[in-house]
């Protein structure tokens, strides 16, 4: 039976309510029952000392690839959620590009069940927009939502037809779900493997121009405005798309947006030398783009930090640059990279945590993301001062594909708690 847990003496930050003070969090039967001063009676309670650390709502990553079913050699729901727990995440939303594609109730069911039975953290499937993500026919979206899908997306294989995207957005309104767009004009991006510019020209690699993202983002923003659908733009990487989102928000369009740690940390220069661990889609961009992404996080134009955690087998990345698959792992480095934004003065700690908790929850309409009394006790205890080095061989994820190998990081999850139970505790 579940025990009572008291998390004592931490700096409790709950961006959803604006709380930021040193106090206790009391958990009863997996539910937060008090945020304040715990009573003297601790008999029968498990006490976690959080003094000197930050206590926050469990992080929520609304953009991961768990690879199961079908691609278990890259990652499984078990290993992916263990990586999530190690990164301080208590919930992840997984993209539908599994094998088979999550475009029907049976696959959604499978992921929900596996997530519940084996997942270290909560798993929320995102269903495909179109059958097989081919962009031709709507998937059985209502069915998937009933089975537990939380949103729809054809991530990685964007819906090319504007009328199909229009229909998807219209249809999404009946179910009150968000449409997540991987915004990329495929005809402009065709064959591209990195950002288009002086560096791609020097390296002789086919470029993906920033406008491929901007044109598709503009289309989807206009469609969202026209249909009244709720749009979430995935992995924003360009200054142009930031401008479009800023303008859309000013006009009151229901759009939210995410970026990933690599887009506010690295430029395309990381690709030089044909580094396949710096190959992802959208690609790493130029310095102006990185500056624009950081500014957008600062002013709230971009709401959410997600990882686009995309594990691949090492042998797939150990290849010619244009042959290697897109994507990097991110669950175990995201929090530290976000905390460096705080140290750089880009965001306050509370705003940075909001981008990892309450904002992603709101973007997809998920429970959690706050420390409200009565909500499930999903929390992370963060050690802001812990210094560590990124060693991919130590990842919980099966993926080793990170451009941050060897980086010296500061700050990480000390413990992760789901439903009042410890699912991760850092080694000292």
Partner 1 sequence: MGFAARHLLGIEDLSREEIEGLLESSRSFKEVLRRDIKKVPAMRGKTVVNLFYEASTRTRTSFEIAGKRLSADVINVSVSTSSVVKGESLLDTARNIEALNPDVIVVRHSSSGAPHFLARSVQCSVVNAGDGSHEHPTQALLDAFTMLEHGKKLEGLKVAIIGDVAHSRVARSNIHLLGKMGAEIRLAGPSTLMPRGVERLPVQIFSCMEDALAEADVVMMLRIQMERQGKGYFPSLREYSRFYGLTSARLALAKEDALVMHPGPMNRGIEISADVADGPRSVIMDQVTNGLAVRMAVLFLVSGGSKE
Beta carbon of residue 369, minimum distance to partner 1 (angstroms, whole number): 41
Among 203, 222, 384, 422, binds partner 1 (CB under 8 A): 203
Beta carbon of residue 202, minimum distance to partner 1 (angstroms, whole number): 7
- Residue 321 within binding range of partner 1, rule CB under 8 A: yes
Give the binding-site size for partner 1 (rule: CB under 8 A): 22
Among 40, 44, 51, 320, binds partner 1 (CB under 8 A): 320
- Residue 3 within binding range of partner 1, rule CB under 8 A: no
User: Which position among 24, 109, 155, 308 bears the catalytic label?
Assistant: 308
The vertex-288 CA angle with 286 and 294, nearest 5°, equals 105
Of 44 and 204, which CB lies nearer to partner 1 in the complex structure? 204
Pairing type for strands 255-259 and 230-233 reads: parallel
Distances (CA, A) of 327 to 64, 276, 282, 292, 296: 11, 9, 9, 22, 23
Piece in contact with partner 1 (CB under 8 A), picked from 58-66, 205-213, 249-257, 329-337: 205-213
Cα(first)–Cα(last) distance of the chain, in Å? 29
Piece in contact with partner 1 (CB under 8 A), picked from 78-86, 119-127, 256-264, 318-326: 318-326
Beta carbon of residue 207, minimum distance to partner 1 (angstroms, whole number): 6
Piece in contact with partner 1 (CB under 8 A), picked from 80-88, 164-172, 320-328, 398-406: 320-328
Cα separation, 70 vs 109, in Å, equals: 15
Among 3, 106, 269, 319, binds partner 1 (CB under 8 A): 319
Among 79, 90, 172, 200, binds partner 1 (CB under 8 A): 200
- Residue 407 within binding range of partner 1, rule CB under 8 A: no
In this structure, the dihedral spanned by the alpha carbons of residues 31, 378, 24 and 344, taken in order and rounded to 10 degrees, is: -160
Piece in contact with partner 1 (CB under 8 A), picked from 20-28, 146-154, 204-212, 384-392: 204-212
Cα separation, 248 vs 223, in Å, equals: 12
Of 161 and 201, which CB lies nearer to partner 1 in the complex structure? 201
Of 121 and 194, which CB lies nearer to partner 1 in the complex structure? 194
- Residue 41 within binding range of partner 1, rule CB under 8 A: no
Of 146 and 190, which CB lies nearer to partner 1 in the complex structure? 190
Beta carbon of residue 199, minimum distance to partner 1 (angstroms, whole number): 7
Footprint on residues 271-300 left by partner 1 (CB under 8 A): 273-274
Beta carbon of residue 246, minimum distance to partner 1 (angstroms, whole number): 25
Residues 6+ apart with CB under 8 A from 111: 66, 68, 69, 77, 94, 98, 102, 123, 125, 148
Of 195 and 227, which CB lies nearer to partner 1 in the complex structure? 195
Active site residue 385: no
Footprint on residues 160-199 left by partner 1 (CB under 8 A): 196-199
Piece in contact with partner 1 (CB under 8 A), picked from 202-210, 225-233, 251-259, 326-334: 202-210
- Residue 207 within binding range of partner 1, rule CB under 8 A: yes
Beta carbon of residue 242, minimum distance to partner 1 (angstroms, whole number): 21
Instruction: Give the residue numbers marked as catalytic.
Output: 308
Q: Which residues bind partner 1 (CB under 8 A)?
A: 196-207, 209, 273-274, 315, 318-323
């Amino acid at each position: 039976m579940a025990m009572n847990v008291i998390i004592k003496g931490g700096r409790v930050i709950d961006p959803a309510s604006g709380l930021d003070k040193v106090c206790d969090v009391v958990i009863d039967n997996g539910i937060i029952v008090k945020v304040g001063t715990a009573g003297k009676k601790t008999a029968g309670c498990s006490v976690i000392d959080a003094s000197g650390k930050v206590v926050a709502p469990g992080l929520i990553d609304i953009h991961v690839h768990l690879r199961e079913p079908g691609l278990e050699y890259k990652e499984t729901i078990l290993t992916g959620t263990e990586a999530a727990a190690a990164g301080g995440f208590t919930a992840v939303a997984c993209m539908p590009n599994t094998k088979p594609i999550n475009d029907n109730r049976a696959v959604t069911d499978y992921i929900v069940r596996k997530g519940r039975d084996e997942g270290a953290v909560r798993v929320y499937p995102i269903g495909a927009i179109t059958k097989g993500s081919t962009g031709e026919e709507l998937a059985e979206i209502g069915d998937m939502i009933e089975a537990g899908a939380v949103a729809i997306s054809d991530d990685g294989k964007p819906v090319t037809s504007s009328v199909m995207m229009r229909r998807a957005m219209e249809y999404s309104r009946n179910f009150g779900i968000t449409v997540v767009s991987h915004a990329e004009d495929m005809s402009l991006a065709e064959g591209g493997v990195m950002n288009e510019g002086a560096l791609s020209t020097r390296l002789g690699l086919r470029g993906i121009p920033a406008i491929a993202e901007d044109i598709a983002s503009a289309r989807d923003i206009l469609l969202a405005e026209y249909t009244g659908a709720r749009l979430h733009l995935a992995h924003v990487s360009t200054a142009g798309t930031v401008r479009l989102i800023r303008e859309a928000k000013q006009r009151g369009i229901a759009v939210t947006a995410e970026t990933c740690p690599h887009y506010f940390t690295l430029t395309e220069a990381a690709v030089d030398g044909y580094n396949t661990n710096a190959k992802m889609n959208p690609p790493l961009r130029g310095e102006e783009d990185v500056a624009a992404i950081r500014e957008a996080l600062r002013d709230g134009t971009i709401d959410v930090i997600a990882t686009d955690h995309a594990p691949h087998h090492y042998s797939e990345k150990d290849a010619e640059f244009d042959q290697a698959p897109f994507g990097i792992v991110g669950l175990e480095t995201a929090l530290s990279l976000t905390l460096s934004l705080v140290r750089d003065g880009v965001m306050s700690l509370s705003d940075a945590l909001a981008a990892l908790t309450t904002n992603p929850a709101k973007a997809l309409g998920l429970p959690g993301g706050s420390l409200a009394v009565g909500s499930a006790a999903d929390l992370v205890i963060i050690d802001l001062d812990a210094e560590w080095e990124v060693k991919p061989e130590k990842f919980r994820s099966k993926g080793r594909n990170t451009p941050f190998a060897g980086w010296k990081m500061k700050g990480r999850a000390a413990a992760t708690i789901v439903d009042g139970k410890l699912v991760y505790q850092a080694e000292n």
